[in-house]
Amino acid sequence: MSGVFLARRLLLAIPTLLGVVLIVFVLMRVVPGDPIAMMTGLNATPADIERLRALHGFDQSIFTQFVFYLENILQGDFGTSITRRQPVADLVLSRLPATLELSVAAMIFAIIIGVFLATAATLWRGRVAERMADGFSALGLAIPDFLWGLIFILVLGVMLPILPISGRIDPRLGFEGKSGLYLVESFFTGQFAAFLSVAEHMILPAAALALPLAAIIARVLKSSLGDAMRQDYVLLARVKGFSRARIVTRDALRNALVPTVTLTAVQFTFLVGGTVLVERIFGYPGLGNMAIEAVVNRDLPLIQGIVITFAVIFIALNIAIDMTYALLDPRLRHG
């Protein structure tokens, strides 16, 4: 891939990022209530408040304040959480790995379920299997991730309690993760009890996040598999006497995957956005759960930090998607 394309794409991300920071900045300034008063509590003297105001730059013009704010962010300083009294950047970084691990697990689930459904529907076209796969897709799209989460809690947590419905790991195991990526870390350090516990806790939230995406993957892949099955090479393979199962899973699937791959990448951002509520429902200690806590406590610096972090992830994912497009389609590279 040409470096020019990459450089241009990265440059284009800068105004978007600036816009994001500007919007967050404006949002936080229109909030009713004085952020300084919230920081100090009730027994601060007016002189204290004035001093803090100057310290945080609130006595400057709004433009100077924005520049001040931007400078801090560029240095990785997102301020201090009001409720937790810790640097926001540290808090965000401590929770980010949990959310990333959950999101990636959910995407893997979604791909497995989606590809399975599409292949099954194509293999048994016109049979009950196809109707079931189609019906599932319609349901998967109509039920948002957080409702799937509640359904799982009810069915697999309460009625048939076979899976844990809250937390990230059994606290009795006393597992102390160093990296934050518990699943990866416990696997590679050979702590299999911890690994199993983390995996077990991840199944339901990951499945809840995965199902709507799986439905979309199933639909798009099925439609491109249908197109692929009408191509000449499929006819040729049939004439050669290959079985239908082999044609669908080997020849057609490989050619039909490209649109699905790019679509999955685009939809992955929505899945990451969905972690906010799903983590809350499952008491999963990730970034999204912390975001809702921050909103409930009106912890403005923490909210800002989390929103900007999510925005940076989204922008980075979109750049990665564009890179993938460019790799797959040479015309775009020189456009």
Partner 1 sequence: MADVTSMVSRAGWRRVMKPGGRILFGGGILGLLLIAAIFAPLLAPHDPLEQDLMVSYLPPFWSAETDGLYPLGTDSLGRDILSRLLYGARVALTVAVVAALLAGLLGTLLGLLAGYFGGWVDTVISRAVDIWMAFPPVLLSIVLVALIGTGLHAVIFAIVIIDWTRFCRVVRAEVMVQREQDYVASAVTVGLSRWRTLFVEILPNVAPLLLVLFSLEMGIAVIVEAILSFVGLSVSSDMPTWGGLIQEGRLYVHQAWWLMVLPMACIILTVLGLNALGDGLREKLDPVMRR
- For partner 1, the binding residues (CB under 8 A) are 15-17, 19-20, 23, 27-28, 30-32, 130-131, 134-135, 137-139, 141-144, 146-147, 150-151, 153-154, 158-159, 215-216, 218-220, 222-223, 226, 259, 263, 266, 269, 272-274, 276-277, 280, 288, 291-292, 295-296, 298, 303, 306-307, 310-311, 314-315, 318
Distance CA 198, CA 288 (A): 18
Rounded least distance, CB 113 to partner 1, Å: 15
Residue 87 three-state SS: strand
Distance CA 335, CA 328 (A): 14
Q: Which of 286, 307, 318, 314 is nearest to 73 (CA)?
A: 307
Rounded least distance, CB 295 to partner 1, Å: 4
Of 51 and 84, CB closest to partner 1: 84
Rounded least distance, CB 172 to partner 1, Å: 23
**What Rg value do the Cα atoms of the chain yield, rounded?**
24
CB atoms within 10 A of CB 277: 20
Of 189 and 262, CB closest to partner 1: 262
Of 135 and 330, CB closest to partner 1: 135
Of 122 and 186, CB closest to partner 1: 122
Give Cβ neighbours of residue 209 (< 8 Å, ≥ 6 apart): 102, 103, 106, 109, 110, 145, 271, 274, 275, 278
Distance CA 189, CA 255 (A): 39
Of 3 and 126, CB closest to partner 1: 126
Residue 26 three-state SS: helix
Rounded least distance, CB 248 to partner 1, Å: 16
Rounded least distance, CB 118 to partner 1, Å: 9
Rounded least distance, CB 187 to partner 1, Å: 29
Q: Which of 90, 18, 104, 144 is nearest to 306 (CA)?
A: 90
Rounded least distance, CB 147 to partner 1, Å: 6
Rounded least distance, CB 322 to partner 1, Å: 12
Distance CA 238, CA 225 (A): 16
Q: How many CA atoms lie within 13 A of 209 on its CB side?
A: 34
CB of 90 closer than 8 Å to CB of 78: no
CB of 198 closer than 8 Å to CB of 163: no
Of 1 and 138, CB closest to partner 1: 138
Rounded least distance, CB 54 to partner 1, Å: 25
Of 167 and 226, CB closest to partner 1: 226
Of 181 and 216, CB closest to partner 1: 216
- Entry field: residues in the chain: 335
Helix extents (H) in the chain: 3-29, 35-40, 46-55, 62-74, 88-123, 128-142, 145-152, 182-188, 192-229, 232-239, 244-246, 253-281, 287-296, 300-328, 330-333
Of 7 and 316, CB closest to partner 1: 316
